[in-house]
Amino acid sequence: MRNWYESCFGYPTMFLHVQFCDYRHDFVETHELDKLIELRQIKQFYRPSEGRWVDIVLDRVRRSGGHYAGPERRQVHVTGLSGQRK
């Protein structure tokens, strides 16, 4: 069965259980989580993949705006049959 979101927009969405700083609980769409964390409006959220609550202050959570100064790790070098990089 399709939910209202999928019916309107044509693709499914996922909701996460969150606890706000005032201890209210609610479900929010996954794309809203980053903004809630950034604005420090939530205390914790439930991470289904780990089967536990994630505390915004104590646990590793999504971060944005960081700067990585190390070597590029995602760069892929393609080597041809002659062994030279392309």
Cβ neighbour number for residue 44 with a 10 Å cutoff? 20
Our measurement of the distance from residue 83's CA atom to the centroid of its chain's CA atoms, rounded to an integer in Å, reads 39
Q: How many CB atoms lie within 10 A of CB 56?
A: 18
DSSP state of 6: H
pTM: 0.58
Structure tokens at 67: 């700067």
Query: Mean pLDDT over residues 5-10, rounded?
Result: 63
pLDDT at 41: 95
Task: In whole angstroms, give the CA distance from residue 42 to residue 45.
Answer: 8
The pLDDT tens digits of the residues spanning 13-50 come to 788 999 999 999 999 988 899 899 999 999 999 998 88
Query: Which of the four pLDDT bands, split at 50, 70 and 90, describes residue 68?
Result: low
**pLDDT interval class at 76 (50, 70, 90):** low
